[in-house]
Amino acid sequence: MKIYRLLLLAVVFIATSSTGFSQGKTDSVSIFIKQGIELGNQKEYSGAVAKYKAALSLQPENAQANYQMAFVLFSSGRSADAVTYIHNAIKGSTDSKFAAAAYSLQGSIYGNLNRSEESIAAYKNAIAADSSNQRIYYNLGIAYFKAKEYAAAEQQFADALKRDIKDAGSARMYALATFHQNKRTEAILGFCYFLSLEPTGVRSTEAFGNLQNILQGGALKPERGYKAVATPYITYQNGLIVKALSVFKTRKYASQADLLAAQLDAVITKLAAAPRDKHYFWHSLADHFGKVNAAVHMPAFARYISQEALTESARWIATNAPKVASLNTWLAGNHPSI
């Protein structure tokens, strides 16, 4: 399973006149670009490339034609060939939204070429051009994640969630970035939040497995080339989790879902009582799940997020429609306050 995927920004093609070119030539370029986009959407990449070449033969500096050429080359696995075209698109851009999309595509191209520093720089330029676009923060987070700069990745995924709190992909990657740093508090909350947004599917099975690993006291095997930094604050946080879960070593429960509900209740209660000298993103998630707990939804929530992995939870979901509906209504109307 691929851990992550990039989210490419859509660029709306607008035919405009170009200084220094006849209207007839400009119209021809617009037609070629539109035809290229249509072919690219059908994955007929060689045909699309031919159309963009025709457009660029008439207007070599046309930003749209250069962007679309770079995009179709990137999409067809020819990232190295796309570099010059995306550079020309950026050089010719006059609109901030277009510039953001072009820089973001440049970041994706460099990422495919394993040029991580240039990829990160490109995404930062994209954010400078359009700081409101959630997808760019997500893509920058992916670039940092691939470079094993997990702390920086964590921040970008948090920033992405601040702009779209219901984005499951950003929630999942936030959890993974913190898990890689052995930040168990953030990882537990992140995986729980992702599973509340996407409780079924392959990604959910993986996320629930990671959540179970943490609740059982496990940690990721250290990666080659990366060493987690155990700061006093992370050590303190992890200590809270260990204390909250220590009582479950000798307790027996009727089902795995009952155990999960009790574990999450204990963790959330412990985190709620911990002092806060400043605000961290995870506080918003902790407060959110504190409200789930207070609303007496935790038993249903535990089964909701484990329905893909646990047969007993799937059976409970199928036979307790009123409780599931009540939980879904609550989740739909309540999100972490950022």
Give the pLDDT confidence of 133-150 residue by residue, as tens digits.
999 999 999 999 999 999
Spell out the domains of the chain, with CATH numbers in brackets: 1-147 (1.25.40.10), 150-338 (no CATH)
pLDDT at residue 3, as a whole number? 61
- In this predicted structure, the answer to whether residue 225 has a pLDDT above a threshold of 80 is no
SS (H, E, C) the chain: CCCCCCCCCCCCCCCCCCCCCCHHHHHHHHHHHHHHHHHHHCCCHHHHHHHHHHHHHHCCCCHHHHHHHHHHHHHCCCHHHHHHHHHHHHHHCCCHHHHHHHHHHHHHHHHHCCCHHHHHHHHHHHHHHCCCCHHHHHHHHHHHHHCCCHHHHHHHHHHHHHHCCCCHHHHHHHHHHHHHCCCHHHHHHHHHHHHHHCCCCHHHHHHHHHHHHHHCCCCCCCCCCCCCCCCHHHHHHHHHHHHHHHHHHCCCCCCHHHHHHHHHHHHHHHHHHCCCCCCCHHHHHHHHHHHHHHCCCHHHHHHHHCCCCCHHHHHHHHHCHHHHHHHHHHHHHCCCCC
Give the pLDDT confidence of 9-59 residue by residue, as tens digits.
655 444 444 444 556 667 899 999 999 999 999 999 999 999 999 999 999
8 confidence band (pLDDT: 50, 70, 90): low
Q: What percent of the chain has pLDDT over 90?
A: 81
Q: What mean pLDDT do residues 61-68 have?
A: 96
pLDDT at residue 304, as a whole number? 97
Give the pLDDT confidence of 175-205 residue by residue, as tens digits.
999 999 999 999 999 999 999 999 999 999 9
- In this predicted structure, the answer to whether residue 336 has a pLDDT above a threshold of 80 is yes
pLDDT at residue 77, as a whole number? 97
